[in-house]
């Protein structure tokens, strides 16, 4: 008998392609992104920022540093189920960009 070749089980490795986008718990579109930001002077926690490109949901969540995007996403979904999404929601105030229209009041008669 010749050499027995051991059958290599070629399991197709699932390429771990964690999608950058999550399904938004509010509008249902897969346009939710989660980013992390450092919190200055805080080594244990970080800020998770979830944004939806569709309905413009904007959510900030202070989470332990070890959490992953998926963990944060689960948290957000939980919040949404409990109708607590508004607790972490921030409305981006863009009042600074307001264009001030000068009212011409010169027309004194």
Question: Whose Cβ is closer to Zn ion: residue 42's or residue 54's?
Answer: 54
Helix (H, G, I), strand (E, B) or coil at 75: helix
Give me the least distance between CB of 52 and Zn ion, in Å please.
3
Distance CA(81)–CA(10), nearest Å, equals: 41
Instruction: Write out the two tokens for 25.
Output: 């718990």
Q: Are 29 and 52 in contact (CB under 8 A)?
A: yes
Q: Which is nearer to Zn ion, 20 or 65 (CB)?
A: 20
Cβ closest to Zn ion, residue 29 vs residue 45:
29
Are 108 and 48 spatial neighbours (Cβ–Cβ below 8 Å)? no
Count of residues touching Zn ion (by CB under 5 A)? 7
Interface region with Zn ion, contact rule CB under 5 A, candidates 15-23, 45-53, 76-84, 95-103: 45-53
Among 30, 35, 37, 54, binds Zn ion (CB under 5 A): 54
Select from 57-65, 66-74, 76-84, 95-103 the region that touches Zn ion (CB under 5 A). 57-65
Sheet strands side by side (includes 58-64): 32-38, 45-52, 58-64
């Amino acid at each position: 008998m010749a050499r027995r070749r051991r059958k290599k089980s070629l399991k197709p490795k699932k390429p771990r392609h964690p999608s950058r986008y999550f399904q938004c718990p509010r509008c249902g579109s897969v346009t939710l992104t989660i980013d992390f930001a450092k919190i200055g002077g805080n080594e244990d926690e970080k800020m998770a920022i979830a944004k939806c490109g569709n309905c413009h949901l904007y959510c900030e969540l202070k989470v332990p540093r070890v959490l992953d995007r998926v963990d944060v996403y689960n948290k957000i979904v939980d919040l949404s189920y409990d109708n607590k999404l508004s607790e972490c929601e921030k409305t981006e105030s863009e009042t600074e960009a307001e264009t001030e229209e000068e009212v011409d009041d010169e027309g004194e008669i």
